[in-house]
A and B are shown apart, each in its own frame.
Chain A
Amino acid sequence: KNEVEQSPQNLTAQEGEFITINCSYSVGISALHWLQQHPGGGIVSLFMLSSGKKKHGRLIATINIQEKHSSLHITASHPRDSAVYICAFSPGGATNKLIFGTGTLLAVQP
């Protein structure tokens, strides 16, 4: 079983819809990351959080440490939001490596 699971794996939405991507993890973490990857490979960090909620523009990330669960929400989705969204966590310790989920492929149609 993977240490981090994302759902759904694929998501198609209409422009303007509210989108939620979920992430569950099975071990203790020092931080939870949400990242965005466009075709071609480049990865951009969207959020890094260890508790509560963060908001940046139309994006909102929440985390529930007790339930080992995080969600990424996109409000008023737009075709330019189409990308792979990846959940990852830092297990802590001397190495700040990231353990990644397999990602959610989001397609927002006009």
Chain B
Amino acid sequence: ETGVTQSPTHLIKTRGQQVTLRCSSQSGHNTVSWYQQALGQGPQFIFQYYREEENGRGNFPPRFSGLQFPNYSSELNVNALELDDSALYLCASSFAGVAYNEQFFGPGTRLTVL
């Protein structure tokens, strides 16, 4: 059983650019959630995908968008990058349908916007 993986591990972009972050879910999981963690803060929920459809969204602007693929891997896209987008981006996979389902986190992608 493979765990949750994310790529890349680190990324440096400049303001106004676009970025795509990737996440491979743990084997057997059909739900992926994305979180943004600013330095010194707890993670903040961006959105969740279940069976390739967005299944809930946090307080993030539309320039944050995502995809989930048939193999349940996922992408987070951020357009028009701003300095405040610099953060650790975490994805977490889980299996919907089980009560109180546990989430399994990837190692994160550290994004720096200059």
Contact = CB atoms under 8 A, between A and B. Distances in A.
Question: Chain A interface residue count: which class?
Answer: 20 to 34
Of residues B48, B56, B100, which shows the largest number of chain A Cβ atoms within 10 Å of its Cβ? B100
Interface in B95-114: 96, 100-108, 110
Contact of A45 (B33, B58, B103): B103
Interface of B: 31, 33, 35, 37, 40-45, 48, 55-56, 58, 88, 90, 92, 94, 96, 100-108, 110
Contacts, number: 66
Of residues A33, A96, A102, which shows the largest number of chain B Cβ atoms within 10 Å of its Cβ? A96
Given A40-B107, A45-B103, A50-B100, A95 B56 contact: yes
A42 interface: yes
Interface in A54-110: 86, 88, 90, 94-103
Contacts of B101: 96
A90 B96 CA distance: 13
Contact of A98 (B45, B96, B108): B45
